[in-house]
């Protein structure tokens, strides 16, 4: 018998709806966009309730023996937001800013992101409150292994598959994979993605998020009738996403006029030599001291008169306070949650075309999906195949979202949420409620 998820209540009511929105709380930022899309979709109240709650939230204490012999206890989280469409999928970040609310929002965003690009995963996220830049390699390895042991009950290629995120990388994924494999007694490559290629990683995974940003930027420019060649771009964040996007956009003929990271920002109206900047950061870790342009503040970078602004660092950088000063014509969200809900309406009013995070940065998890498929099949693809399939998925998803936005006369973010929520809710309806 089919389960009717309609509860005997009236329409969607977000219990906290009328309460003052804390602009900086990422879960509230996610929820307010979710509510708008849910309302437009006329989502059944029962499914609405299911989708506004995380399935599972783990908090673990992680004791680590430091190099000086002392023991320090760190806090780690892993949130599985929704697994209706497949195994939970999402990165692990190491950062002092990590909170449970943030991890929960990021896990929800992973759920919507996987649905937007239509890959068979749910969404999760993990985080450890720490400053990895101040830790030795040995300390990081012990932290990673103990955190993995702490959340091992939810991990597995069919249940929850981590990947890199802020301040984690291939090496960290290798430790997660090894710890899991030792615990289950055999090698399980598909338990994490973003691994080194030598141990089951996918070609093209490292560049995938930046490549995806480049692909959707080109789609957006084409849609707006703007030429790619000569397009000016400023990029906030110069890590794995920002630096790769910069390099690829430069290769396509764009002019990268500003870049910045936590150490500082530079502006060069003639165009920054991105390859040179990447070389510098490889050697010095940050852009500090790089002088191939004029120093500017972080706020100046966000409000420069450029065609495209690409925030590729952390949440909450475009807010109700600075949104009215943004002069870019297009914003491509390489980071998760860089724009607050309060800024959305201001950007709309200004006619700025925003490619939302759950579409713009989905290239990473898309190639993670390819990696998981390759690991499970034990058969590996050429880099060209990976990149071609990534391009197909990114351009198709961009066009799906664009056509929904035209159909419903909503912005790209609302359209992306509508697409994601309708895909996830359809599966919930088909599966029914397990009892």
**Which residues inside 249-308 make contact with ligand GLU, applying CB under 6 A?**
none
Nearer to ligand GLU, 195 or 255 (CB): 195
Nearer to ligand GLU, 280 or 370 (CB): 370
Q: Which residue among the candidates 89, 104, 113, 125 is catalytic per the annotation?
A: 125
Q: Of 139, 165, 178, 315, which lies in the binding site for ligand GLU, with binding defined by CB under 6 A?
A: 165
Number of residues that bind ligand GLU (CB under 6 A): 11
Distances (CA, A) of 420 to 5, 101, 131: 19, 21, 34
**Which residues inside 168-207 make contact with ligand GLU, applying CB under 6 A?**
193
Q: How far is the CB of 116 from ligand GLU (least distance, A)?
A: 11
String of contacts with ligand GLU for each residue 109-138, x by CB under 6 A? ------------------------------
**Which residues inside 321-340 make contact with ligand GLU, applying CB under 6 A?**
336
**Which residues inside 226-245 make contact with ligand GLU, applying CB under 6 A?**
none
Nearer to ligand GLU, 82 or 232 (CB): 82
Q: How far is residue 263's CA from residue 285's CA, in Å, rounded to a whole number?
A: 10
Q: How far is the CB of 193 from ligand GLU (least distance, A)?
A: 5
86 binds ligand GLU (CB under 6 A): no
Q: How far is the CB of 368 from ligand GLU (least distance, A)?
A: 3
Q: How far is the CB of 365 from ligand GLU (least distance, A)?
A: 4
Q: How far is residue 197's CA from residue 236's CA, in Å, rounded to a whole number?
A: 28
Nearer to ligand GLU, 46 or 311 (CB): 311
Q: How far is the CB of 242 from ligand GLU (least distance, A)?
A: 14
Q: Of 365, 390, 416, 420, which lies in the binding site for ligand GLU, with binding defined by CB under 6 A?
A: 365
85 binds ligand GLU (CB under 6 A): no
Which residue is nearest to ligand GLU, using beta carbons? 91
- Span near ligand GLU by CB under 6 A; candidates 86-94, 255-263, 296-304, 326-334: 86-94
- Cβ proximity of 376 and 433 under 8 Å: no
Q: How far is the CB of 90 from ligand GLU (least distance, A)?
A: 5
Q: Establish whether 125 is a catalytic residue.
A: yes
Q: Of 364, 387, 398, 421, which lies in the binding site for ligand GLU, with binding defined by CB under 6 A?
A: 364
String of contacts with ligand GLU for each residue 43-82, x by CB under 6 A? ----------------------------------------
- How much is the CA Rg of the chain, to the nearest whole Å? 21
Q: Which residues bind to ligand GLU, rule: CB under 6 A?
A: 89-91, 163, 165, 193, 336, 361, 364-365, 368
- Active-site annotation, residues: 125
């Amino acid at each position: 018998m089919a389960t009717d998820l309609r509860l005997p209540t009236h329409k969607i009511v977000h219990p906290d709806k009328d309460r003052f929105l804390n602009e900086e709380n990422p879960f509230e930022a996610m929820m307010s966009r979710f509510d708008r899309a849910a309302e437009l979709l006329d989502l059944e109240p029962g499914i609405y309730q299911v989708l506004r709650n995380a399935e599972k939230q783990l908090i673990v204490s992680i004791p680590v023996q430091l190099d000086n012999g002392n023991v320090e206890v760190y806090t780690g989280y892993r949130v599985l937001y929704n697994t209706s469409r497949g195994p939970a999928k999402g990165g692990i970040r190491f950062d002092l800013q990590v909170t449970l609310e943030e991890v929960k929002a990021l896990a929800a965003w992973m759920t919507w992101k996987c649905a937007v690009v239509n890959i068979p995963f749910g969404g999760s996220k993990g985080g450890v409150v720490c400053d990895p830049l101040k830790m030795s390699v040995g300390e990081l390895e012990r932290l990673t292994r103990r955190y993995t042991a702490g959340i091992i009950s939810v991990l597995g290629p069919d249940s929850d598959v981590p990947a890199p995120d802020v301040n984690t990388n291939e090496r960290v994924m290798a430790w997660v994979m090894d710890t899991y494999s030792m615990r289950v007694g055999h090698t399980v490559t598909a338990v994490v993605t973003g691994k080194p290629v030598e141990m089951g990683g996918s070609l093209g995974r490292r560049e995938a998020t930046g490549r995806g940003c480049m692909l959707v930027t080109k789609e957006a420019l084409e849609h707006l009738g703007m030429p790619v060649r000569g397009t000016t771009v400023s990029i906030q964040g110069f890590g794995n996403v920002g630096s790769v996007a910069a390099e690829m956009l430069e290769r396509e003929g764009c002019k990268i006029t500003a870049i910045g990271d936590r150490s500082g920002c530079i502006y060069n109206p003639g165009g920054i030599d991105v390859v040179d900047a990447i070389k510098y950061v490889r050697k010095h870790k940050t852009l500090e001291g790089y002088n191939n342009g004029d120093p500017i503040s972080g706020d100046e970078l966000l409000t420069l008169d450029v065609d495209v602004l690409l925030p590729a660092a952390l949440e909450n950088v475009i807010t109700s306070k600075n949104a009215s000063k943004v002069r870019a014509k297009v914003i491509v969200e390489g980071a998760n949650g860089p724009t607050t809900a309060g800024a959305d309406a201001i950007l709309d009013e200004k006619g700025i075309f925003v490619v939302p995070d759950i579409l713009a940065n989905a290239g990473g998890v898309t190639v993670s999906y390819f990696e998981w498929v390759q690991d499970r099949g034990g058969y590996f693809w050429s880099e060209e195949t990976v990149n071609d399939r990534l391009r197909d998925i990114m351009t198709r998803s961009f066009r799906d979202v664009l056509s929904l936005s035209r159909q419903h006369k909503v912005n790209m973010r609302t359209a992306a949420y509508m697409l994601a929520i309708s895909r996830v809710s359809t599966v919930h309806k088909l599966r029914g409620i397990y009892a």
